[in-house]
């Protein structure tokens, strides 16, 4: 249990990229601390796997397949929620290539998912947080943003 010092009962967290990797780990850790979840991923099978784990922890869990680059999809999901206390912007991809060989679509997809989605989600949840005069927004990023890596100019 990673968040055992925290009591997040009656709180709601929205986690993007919750089907795999860090997003999955964040969702499970929040549930272990008693937090109710709204989990988003591109793949329903991955969401079902996470939901099965966290429901054993006796927390509420709603899951949505969603394109995090689509503001209207995001807004529709968020408008269905009773509240959102925590947002974890975790969705991300990489499409590595040297910039001279990189396709414009690869550049744009990484920017849309890794950057624009953060804007879309943050903008969408701020109403809840301002109304409640509290909330936490956690943006997950890579150390590549600090140092850079060959072939990852769009990612960095």
Catalytic residues: 155
Handedness of CA 20, 129, 108, 101 (dihedral sign): negative
CA distance 90 to 111: 14
Q: How many CA atoms lie within 13 A of 72 on its CB side?
A: 0
CB count within 10 Å of CB 16 equals 28
Tokens of 154: 């769009």
Q: Which residue has the tokens 């509290």?
A: 134
């Amino acid at each position: 249990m990673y968040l055992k010092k925290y009591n997040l009962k009656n709180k709601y967290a929205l986690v993007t990229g919750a089907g795999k990797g860090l997003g999955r780990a964040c969702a499970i850790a929040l549930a272990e601390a008693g937090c109710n979840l709204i989990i988003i991923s591109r793949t329903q099978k991955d969401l079902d796997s996470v939901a099965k784990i966290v429901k054993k922890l006796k927390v509420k869990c709603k899951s949505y397949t969603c394109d995090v680059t689509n503001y209207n999809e995001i807004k529709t999901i968020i408008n269905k929620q009773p509240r959102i206390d925590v947002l974890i912007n975790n969705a991300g991809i990489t499409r590595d290539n040297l910039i001279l060989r990189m396709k414009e679509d690869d550049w744009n997809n990484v920017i849309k998912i890794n950057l624009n989605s953060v804007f879309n989600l943050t903008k969408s949840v701020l109403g809840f947080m301002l109304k409640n005069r509290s909330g936490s927004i956690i943006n997950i990023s890579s150390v590549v943003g600090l140092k850079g890596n060959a072939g990852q100019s769009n990612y960095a």
